[in-house]
Structure 1
Amino acid sequence: MPLPLYLLALAVFAMGTSEFMLAGLLPAIAADLGVPVGTAGTLGSAFAVGMVVGAPLVAGLARSWPRRSSLAGFLLVFAAAHVVGATVPSFPVLFGTRVVAALANAGFLAVALTTAATLVPPDRKGRALGVLLSGTTMATIAGVPAGSLLGAAFGWRATFWAVAAVCLPAVAGVLHGIPRSPRPRAAESAGPSLRTELGVLRRRRLLLVMLLGALVNAATFASFTFLAPVVTGTAGLDRLWVPVVLVLFGAGSFAGITVAGRLSDARPGLVVAIAGPLLLVGWPALALLAWEPVALPVLVFAQAMLSFALGSTLIARVLYEATGAATMAGGYATAALNLGAAVGPLVAAIALTTRLGELGPLWTSGLLVLVALLIAAPCRRSVSGTGGAGRGPR
């Protein structure tokens, strides 16, 4: 894999740390700003909604922009939003900064996904996506637990300052590592029109894999966002165990993306057939065994591995099925990812208020995976990439 791909992954690491760090900071943010934990959890949904709306919108606006300067600009806006977020006095203002940060993240990721696909041969999009998203999984392994510890020691605002600081070397890496793109007019004349790229959304197979990717990601974020209450409440462990469990989640997600990156190009159907049913069993198992301090970390690792293996494979299928949308394919993939990230925590927050309590999000994840598998069952050929113009390599 080319070096610029890893430089993009560094930037994704900074952004992933910001997106996921709330899982370990929600109790502190809620207490400081005087809102319920469930309300604080909507910060994750605000970020995801901004990503869903911003990905196709910003990708469309940035079609004629030079890729390198676009990526650097999005990163700088992202950093500025965190500087403001670190100083806000109220929850509504913090909510607004998360939306702004999400729009910048959406623009960056949409351009980065498209850029990554151009840095490798056409039949290695899945591998390239795996490298790019490894920045996200490394965020859950290192960035999020470090942010949780930093927040516990110095307050949640210190974590926002740290994310802003990490963005600066990422900007330098993008400016020095990403090659200059052709001049805007040359890029426009060489590629399809915006109407043509939007027209690919009429493809049934593309919409199907986007929906399935969103559902799986919703299941992942429904539980991940509210892991801290499960660790300290249901399992009865000390708060210092929260970053430990988050590290295990990150390690599992890294393992899942690594494995899927080698299979999602040639054998996507195999990943879906194995990971899907295991996920369906795993979320209820985690809800039933969350009381056991030994079973909790093992199941968290397993569910993270399966979730990211299946989710990244489905998103890779989006890139394949969006063939012909050279600049918008990354926006479609980003929108699918974050539609799930927006819906999952919202549904899980509702489940928190039911008799299920802290275990509600885990049961919600199981239900979302069940819905995804029921939709995918009669459409196995579409999910596995066999047949059709968007077919991947076999």
Structure 2
Amino acid sequence: MSAVPGSVAASRDSAMPPVLWALLFGNFVIGTGVMVVPGTLNELGSSLHVSVSTAGQLISASAVVMCVGAPLLAALVAGWDRRRLLALSMLWFGALHLLCTLMPTFGTLLPVRMLAVIAPAIFTPQAAACVGLLVPASQRGRAITFVFLGWSVASVLGMPLGAYVGGMFGWRSAFALVGLLSLASAAWVWRAMPDGVRPPALTLADWRETLRSRALMLVIAVTVLFSAGQFVLFSYFAPYYKQAIGITPAQLSLLFVWFGAFGFAGNMLMTRHIERIGADAGVLIAIASMALSLLLWPLGTSLLLAALVSAPWALGCFSSNSAQQARLVGIAPALAAGSIALNSSAMYAGQALGAAGGGALIARGQMGMLHWAGFGLLLLAMAASAWAASHRGSHRSG
């Protein structure tokens, strides 16, 4: 492999370079691993003899690790060659998920799972941050959203498959599946990624500029709000639908396939049209689509109606974050490594807040209020997004 990936970056072909497919698959595996807990929450609670709200702590605790880890690790690994960094992070993800399958109790599983999710804190933001060195500047926005299609594919295939395997064979089998996929991803990244890909390390002054930028911080606040709004309910899909419509594991898998298919379609649409409509408008459309679903949520009184009501949410679920990444890169390309790491941190912070809030509502017997809490947070996210768009030109505003 060449030491400098200039031949990749210089390509003027409209097709995505092969290395981006390896990064897409890595995000698919990361997304599958992150979402394996919501899909197997019923089985985890039953097998480990804990309540649904307690099992949900696997989501919130892992999200805290990813939230804190993304910016800290971005600084720690700044000088690493990305081929080695990304491959090793997937190897870690695989090995720790295989170790999770050996844990006999909730108390032993929780810390191992928390260690496992160090990998998403590295892989997702660092894969996005190095895209600018792999494609021409004119393809940057499209390439970033392309790489994030992996999360959408995870929702189409990975999450439903994990839920099905977990429902049929137990949560340990679902975790083992994530482990094996992670090892395959590590091998693919190692083969596809060129040597010598090292995005410029952010200096202390760069981090200070990132944190003092009103435009960047407002965009990141939007991510916190819409992530929390989703995960108030998304974390508890399995127990919610079991209580509301008596859903079976097979039906839950089909519902996740439906949700994932629309999520994939939403991300494809965003990838195709983001350069035309602009990232600001793309984010607002995606959040509004999610809010519509939560407003109509009480109408989902059967499997068919639940599927129909969830479709707008799915369209905006993954496309919103892809557009956010492109939005940040567009505001300050030179600070992308830091802003994208902070945005990943914000996404996981929102997940932690949402999962914890949803668990608190369930513990008080208010599962029926989950969608209203999420709807309120999404309305706040829409207002914050419009505010962020109005400050797009005020990058330096400390």
Q: TM-score, normalised by structure 1?
A: 0.90
Q: Find 1:236's aligned residue among 246, 258, 263.
A: 246
Consecutive unaligned residues of structure 2, counting only runs of 5 or more, are 1-15
8 Å CA contact retained: 1:60, 1:194: no
One-letter code aligned to 1:284:
L
- Provide the C-alpha distance between the structure 1 equivalents of 2:46 and 2:185, rounded to a whole number of angstroms: 32
Q: Find 2:379's aligned residue among 367, 370, 388.
A: 370
Consecutive unaligned residues of structure 1, counting only runs of 5 or more, are none
Please state how far the C-alpha of 1:140 moved relative to its aligned partner: 1.4
Match of 1:337 in 2: 347
8 Å CA contact retained: 1:290, 1:296: yes
Q: What do residues 24-60 of structure 1 show as CA deviations (whole Å, max 9, x unaligned)?
A: 2111111111111011112111221111111111111
Counting aligned pairs with the same residue, the percent is 29
Q: Secondary structure at the match of 2:85?
A: helix
Match of 1:200 in 2: 210
Please state how far the C-alpha of 1:191 moved relative to its aligned partner: 5.3
Residues 140, 378 of structure 1: alpha-carbon distance in 2 compared, 3 angstrom cutoff: closer
1:24 and 2:39 are equivalent in the alignment: yes
- Give matches, 1:35-50, under 5 Å: 35-50=50-65
Q: TM-score, normalised by structure 2?
A: 0.89
- Provide the C-alpha distance between the structure 2 equivalents of 1:336 and 1:209, rounded to a whole number of angstroms: 10
1:119 and 2:129 are equivalent in the alignment: no
Deviates more, 1:226-235 or 1:209-218: 226-235
Q: What do residues 90-120 of structure 1 show as CA deviations (whole Å, max 9, x unaligned)?
A: 2122111121111122112222111223222
Q: Secondary structure at the match of 1:264?
A: helix
Please state how far the C-alpha of 1:370 moved relative to its aligned partner: 1.4
Please state how far the C-alpha of 1:378 moved relative to its aligned partner: 4.0
Please state how far the C-alpha of 1:305 moved relative to its aligned partner: 0.7
8 Å CA contact retained: 1:66, 1:180: yes
Please state how far the C-alpha of 1:338 moved relative to its aligned partner: 1.4
1:163 and 2:178 are equivalent in the alignment: yes
8 Å CA contact retained: 1:59, 1:111: yes
Match of 2:221 in 1: 211
- Provide the C-alpha distance between the structure 1 equivalents of 2:68 and 2:388, rounded to a whole number of angstroms: 27
Please state how far the C-alpha of 1:257 moved relative to its aligned partner: 1.2
Match of 2:256 in 1: 246
Q: Secondary structure at the match of 1:291?
A: coil
One-letter code aligned to 1:18:
G
Match of 2:316 in 1: 306
1:319 and 2:342 are equivalent in the alignment: no
Match of 1:3 in 2: 18
Alignment: residue pair count: 380
1:130 and 2:130 are equivalent in the alignment: no
- Provide the C-alpha distance between the structure 1 equivalents of 2:58 and 2:264, rounded to a whole number of angstroms: 24
- Provide the C-alpha distance between the structure 1 equivalents of 2:233 and 2:172, rounded to a whole number of angstroms: 24
- Provide the C-alpha distance between the structure 2 equivalents of 1:378 and 1:194, rounded to a whole number of angstroms: 28
- Provide the C-alpha distance between the structure 2 equivalents of 1:337 and 1:297, rounded to a whole number of angstroms: 25
One-letter code aligned to 1:305:
L
- Provide the C-alpha distance between the structure 2 equivalents of 1:135 and 1:181, rounded to a whole number of angstroms: 24
Match of 1:257 in 2: 267
Q: Find 1:174's aligned residue among 179, 189, 214.
A: 189
Residues 146, 125 of structure 1: alpha-carbon distance in 2 compared, 3 angstrom cutoff: same
- Provide the C-alpha distance between the structure 1 equivalents of 2:202 and 2:328, rounded to a whole number of angstroms: 18
Q: Secondary structure at the match of 2:130?
A: helix
8 Å CA contact retained: 1:200, 1:324: no
Q: Secondary structure at the match of 2:68?
A: helix
- Provide the C-alpha distance between the structure 1 equivalents of 2:29 and 2:251, rounded to a whole number of angstroms: 23
Please state how far the C-alpha of 1:227 moved relative to its aligned partner: 1.1
1:290 and 2:300 are equivalent in the alignment: yes
- Provide the C-alpha distance between the structure 2 equivalents of 1:110 and 1:330, rounded to a whole number of angstroms: 6
Residues 277, 73 of structure 1: alpha-carbon distance in 2 compared, 3 angstrom cutoff: closer
8 Å CA contact retained: 2:164, 2:249: no
Match of 2:81 in 1: 66
8 Å CA contact retained: 1:209, 1:315: no
- Provide the C-alpha distance between the structure 2 equivalents of 1:297 and 1:314, rounded to a whole number of angstroms: 26
